[in-house]
A and B are shown apart, each in its own frame.
Chain A
Amino acid sequence: MSIARQRRVATAKRVWGHFRSSPQGMIGLMVLLVFVAMAVLAPVLADVRELNPVFARQSGNPQWASPSDFPFLGTDHIRRSVWVQFVWGSRVSLFVGLAATVLTILIGSVVGIVSGYLGKRTDRVMMRVTEWFLVIPFLPLAIVLASVLGRSVWIIIFVIGVTSWPSTARLVRAQVLTVKQRLFVDRARSLGAKGGHIIGHHILPNVSGLILANATLAVPISILTETTLAFLGLGDPSSASWGKTLEEAFVNGAIVRNAWWYFLPAGLGILAVVMAFTLIGRTLEEIANPRLSRNR
């Protein structure tokens, strides 16, 4: 094992050690693992055919049944089991949240690193564009893009990624600017290293911690945005996320019927997952930047 690799393994161990000693981080991780397990085991936990209203009718499900009449979580206006929707919804919500975050972080990191590393005119132009995107209100932009482009899971992911990268780009750029000043970058350059090598071997390892913490904190925004877009009717009609469940419950009058079981589980799921990511992200942030923990 090379020295650099050994050091990286040691750093990972140290970070995990810190993480394990943080109650909030561990609670977040447990909650997240429960939901990931639910999403992965969805075919075992709930029969996907139950999502089909025709199947639900044929199996004799009652309509608008409360949880005490139909386990575990009652039924909706077209006799589908709410539990099955909840389990399969976790899949879509987690997938969209994670995929959109990956796209956000990818765009943000590339813009931040290129802009910060190259500097000069490239930096000025890229930061100007970043500022434009930062100023345009995020949700209306996502709504407009989604209405114009159509309704599918991939479009939702694209829309969230394209609208939420600017803050990551700024954060990464600032970090790159400080790393760039460090002696080892000058040393590598004087030894004849090219830009690509310096970015890959010296800059990236030193900003990756920040990128990871930022990514964890970006997932809640992605999930909440997906929820809101789905609630406004911009979700994928063929794959039911938690946001879609909330929309259907609202549109079909669950509120006036006091059918709390229809919309309570999906919202609690979102709340739990969002809080889990926030707790994990904050813990990672505190490890990466110990000065923060003093204030929190």
Chain B
Amino acid sequence: MVLGSVATLAFVLVFNFFLFRVVQTDPVGSLFRGRNIPQDVLDELRADFGLDQSLGAQFVLYVKETLQGNLGVSYQSRQPVWDEIARSVPPTVALVGASAILSAVIGTVAGIVAAWRRNTWKDHAITSGTMIFYSMPDFWLGMILLVGFAVVLPWFPVGGMTDIGSTATGLDRLLDQLHHMFLPALTLTLAYLGEYALIMRSSLLEVMGEDYLTVARAKGLRDKIVRRRHAVPNAILPVVTLTAINLGFVLSGAIAVEAVFSWPGLGKATADAIRGPDLPMLQGLFLLFSGAVIVFNLLADITYAWLDPRVEGA
């Protein structure tokens, strides 16, 4: 499993290198586009970037630099891509991480209720409600919430992570950030909920046909106990895997939503890099997004094998 993940990472690296070479035959030229720079200076810069060497040598250089954490310089900010990315990680982890946990918990509970009360109004409300949120573009939901709760009813700020010019520190600063985070987090939670609810519901429905639940009931256990001790633990496994897989998407999961709320994370960095286009930035972000998914997939596989001994060696 570990070897497979390393191979996939290597594939991403190769892919990333060639993808950006396809368009970018002359990065130095595009970096100083429209400026009057003498030819010998350009040649010198090309030599600095290693662009006068063969494709093979360039690839080796690229891999070496990447492994050392050197991802190049952003066209837009003229800062190292690595620094730009490092600055954007915490806001994204806070926003998407919180939404991922909230949606997993609420979605699972909703799925349990829907399955246990199958074909009642509760089931129908949960199933169709989650499907509606699942079928809309998440950033559009964000736009609606923004108009509703930041413009018409000015309860929340229209964007950013702190009030502009705010010098608050400590608890006040944290509260200000939470205030800014509320609407984007609500958007993402609603958008992610459906997946968990549907999977929990169908997994629990499958378990509900099992003999051991009939036995548990025959022993005279109350409905609540049967559900909590016998049904849910046996049905929760797919949700655990889904959560682990989705954690890999935390970094890349909110590109458009972050753009709507001007949340200064990796998603907004991606949206800004597209407008450039800031290719070194996009390249670095793509590497990070892919790496995160690969690592968390591996963790999901390991967790799965540990929780369910039947899949050992699979």
Most chain B CB within 10 A, of A132, A135, A278, is at: A135
B290 touches A136 (CB 8 A): yes
Q: Which of A252-273 contact B (CB under 8 A)?
A: 255-256, 258, 260, 263-264, 266-267, 270-271
A270 to chain B, nearest CB (A): 6
Chain A residues at the B interface, C-beta cutoff of 8 Å:
128, 131-132, 135-137, 139-141, 143-145, 147-149, 220, 224, 227-228, 231-234, 243, 246, 249-250, 255-256, 258, 260, 263-264, 266-267, 270-271, 274-275, 278, 295-296
23 pairs of residues in contact across A and B, judged by CB atoms under 8 Å: A135-B8, A135-B294, A136-B12, A137-B252, A139-B255, A140-B285, A141-B290, A143-B282, A145-B19, A147-B279, A224-B137, A227-B137, A232-B270, A232-B271, A233-B274, A249-B143, A258-B151, A270-B140, A275-B132, A275-B135, A278-B131, A295-B205, A296-B202
Q: How far is A258 from B7 in the complex, measured between Cα atoms in Å?
A: 50
A256 touches B8 (CB 8 A): no
Nearest B residue to A234 by beta-carbon distance?
B274
A96 to chain B, nearest CB (A): 14
A263 to chain B, nearest CB (A): 6
Q: How far is A266 from B20 in the complex, measured between Cα atoms in Å?
A: 34
B55 to chain A, nearest CB (A): 17
Nearest B residue to A275 by beta-carbon distance?
B135
B270 touches A220 (CB 8 A): no
Flag whether B275 is at the interface (Cβ < 8 A): yes
Q: How far is A243 from B256 in the complex, measured between Cα atoms in Å?
A: 12
Please name all residues of chain B whose beta carbon is closer than 8 Å to the beta carbon of A243 when the two chains form the complex: 137
Flag whether B112 is at the interface (Cβ < 8 A): no
Q: How far is A256 from B15 in the complex, measured between Cα atoms in Å?
A: 41
Please name all residues of chain B whose beta carbon is closer than 8 Å to the beta carbon of A234 when the two chains form the complex: 274
Nearest A residue to B146 by beta-carbon distance?
A255
A274-B136 contact in complex given A135-B293, A137-B252, A140-B286, C-beta closer than 8 Å:
yes
Nearest A residue to B23 by beta-carbon distance?
A148
- Beyond A135-B290, A260-B144, A267-B144, list 16 extra A-B contacts (CB 8 Å): A131-B4, A132-B12, A135-B8, A136-B12, A140-B290, A143-B255, A148-B19, A220-B135, A231-B139, A249-B143, A250-B260, A255-B143, A255-B151, A255-B158, A274-B135, A278-B131
Residue tally, chain B, CB below 8 Å to A = 50
Q: How many A-B residue pairs have CB under 8 A?
A: 121
Please name all residues of chain A whose beta carbon is closer than 8 Å to the beta carbon of B259 when the two chains form the complex: 231-232
Q: How far is A171 from B260 in the complex, measured between Cα atoms in Å?
A: 35
Main secondary structure of the interface of B (DSSP, over half): helix
Q: How far is A295 from B111 in the complex, measured between Cα atoms in Å?
A: 13
Per-position binary interface string of chain B over residues 1-26, scored 1 when its CB falls under 8 Å from any chain A CB and 0 otherwise: 00010011001100100011011000
Give me the 8 closest cross-chain CB pairs, A-B, nearest first: A267-B140, A274-B135, A140-B289, A271-B136, A275-B135, A295-B205, A147-B277, A148-B23
Please name all residues of chain B whose beta carbon is closer than 8 Å to the beta carbon of A147 when the two chains form the complex: 273-274, 277, 279, 282
Please name all residues of chain B whose beta carbon is closer than 8 Å to the beta carbon of A137 when the two chains form the complex: 248-249, 252, 289-290, 293
In the complex, which of the residues B4, B136, B279, B293 contacts A136, with contact meaning CB atoms closer than 8 Å?
B293
Q: How far is A80 from B279 in the complex, measured between Cα atoms in Å?
A: 34
Q: How far is A263 from B139 in the complex, measured between Cα atoms in Å?
A: 11
Please name all residues of chain A whose beta carbon is closer than 8 Å to the beta carbon of B132 when the two chains form the complex: 271, 275
Please name all residues of chain B whose beta carbon is closer than 8 Å to the beta carbon of A266 when the two chains form the complex: 140
Please name all residues of chain B whose beta carbon is closer than 8 Å to the beta carbon of A224 when the two chains form the complex: 137
A258 touches B152 (CB 8 A): yes
A139-B252 contact in complex given A132-B11, A145-B19, A256-B158, C-beta closer than 8 Å:
yes
A258 touches B147 (CB 8 A): yes
Flag whether B297 is at the interface (Cβ < 8 A): yes
B140 touches A246 (CB 8 A): yes
Please name all residues of chain A whose beta carbon is closer than 8 Å to the beta carbon of B151 when the two chains form the complex: 255-256, 258
Please name all residues of chain B whose beta carbon is closer than 8 Å to the beta carbon of A132 when the two chains form the complex: 8, 11-12
Please name all residues of chain A whose beta carbon is closer than 8 Å to the beta carbon of B282 when the two chains form the complex: 143-144, 147
Please name all residues of chain B whose beta carbon is closer than 8 Å to the beta carbon of A149 when the two chains form the complex: 23
A233-B140 contact in complex given A140-B270, A275-B131, C-beta closer than 8 Å:
no
Flag whether B52 is at the interface (Cβ < 8 A): no
Please name all residues of chain A whose beta carbon is closer than 8 Å to the beta carbon of B260 when the two chains form the complex: 250
Nearest B residue to A279 by beta-carbon distance?
B131
Q: How far is A256 from B158 in the complex, measured between Cα atoms in Å?
A: 8
Flag whether B206 is at the interface (Cβ < 8 A): yes
Q: Which of B263-299 contact A (CB under 8 A)?
A: 270-271, 273-275, 277, 279, 282-283, 285-286, 289-290, 293-294, 297
A240 to chain B, nearest CB (A): 16
B60 to chain A, nearest CB (A): 22
In the complex, which of the residues A143, A145, A250, A271 contacts B270, with contact meaning CB atoms closer than 8 Å?
A143
A295 to chain B, nearest CB (A): 5
Please name all residues of chain A whose beta carbon is closer than 8 Å to the beta carbon of B4 when the two chains form the complex: 131
Q: How far is A29 from B186 in the complex, measured between Cα atoms in Å?
A: 32
A50 to chain B, nearest CB (A): 23
